[in-house]
């Protein structure tokens, strides 16, 4: 009768499932950072949130960009809520248009900087995650 080997020990707390995370290459870090910023134009804070949760341990460059994008998109989400509330007094429509334009302009700037391998900080963002 042969004994079955014991199961492997579980990964330590905070480690990704299956062991240690593999670092991304610099080209992959730039690609994912760029996609997270561009995704914010179309889908709001979701690409930045998913990117932050999945990629934050895969390299310092992609971690910084996903955290920055997430902070910016959460700030814009708050501004959108304020804009919608203020549509009652009509000034909200101006706020919504301004937030929409700021999202497009700054996200494109951030995506270009990420694609060039440079760090970028949005000029208007509340720091929620670091």
**Residue 18 burial class via C-beta count within 10 angstroms: exposed 0-12, middle 13-18, buried 19 and up:** exposed
Please tell me which of 57-61, 106-110, 122-126 the model is most confident about, judged by mean pLDDT: 106-110
- Distance between CA atoms of residues 110 and 102, nearest Å: 12
- Better pLDDT: 78 or 18: 78
Q: Is 123 exposed, middle or buried (0-12, 13-18, 19+ CB in 10 A)?
A: exposed
Looking at residue 2, its pLDDT comes to: 59
Average pLDDT in the 88-112 region?
Answer: 96
- Asked if residue 17 has pLDDT above 60, the reply is no
The structure's pTM equals 0.80
Average pLDDT of 58-63? 93
Kindly state the DSSP code that residue 52 receives in the 8-state scheme: H
Q: Which of 48, 109, 53 minimizes the C-alpha distance to 76?
A: 48
Give tens-digit pLDDT for 36-55. Answer: 999 999 999 999 999 999 99
Mean pLDDT of the chain: 88
Q: Distance between CA atoms of 38 and 118, rounded to whole angstroms?
A: 16
State residue 110's pLDDT score. Answer: 96
Listed as own residue / partner, the contacts of 26-32 with beta carbons closer than 8 Å and 24 or more positions apart are 26/59, 26/61, 26/117, 28/62, 29/58, 29/59, 29/61, 29/62, 30/61, 30/114, 30/115, 30/116, 30/117, 32/62, 32/65, 32/66
Q: Is the pLDDT of residue 19 over 50?
A: no
């Amino acid at each position: 009768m042969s004994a079955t080997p014991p199961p492997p020990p579980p990964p330590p707390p905070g480690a990704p499932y299956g062991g240690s995370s593999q670092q991304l290459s610099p080209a992959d870090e730039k690609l994912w950072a760029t996609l997270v910023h561009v995704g914010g134009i179309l889908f709001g804070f979701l690409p930045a949130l998913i990117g932050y949760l999945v990629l934050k341990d895969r390299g310092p460059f992609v971690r910084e960009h996903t955290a920055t994008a997430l902070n910016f998109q959460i700030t814009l989400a708050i501004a959108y809520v304020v804009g919608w509330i203020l549509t009652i007094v009509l000034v909200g429509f101006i706020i919504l248009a301004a937030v929409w334009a700021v999202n497009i302009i700054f996200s494109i700037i951030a995506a270009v900087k990420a694609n060039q391998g440079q760090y970028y900080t949005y000029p208007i963002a509340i720091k929620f995650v670091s």
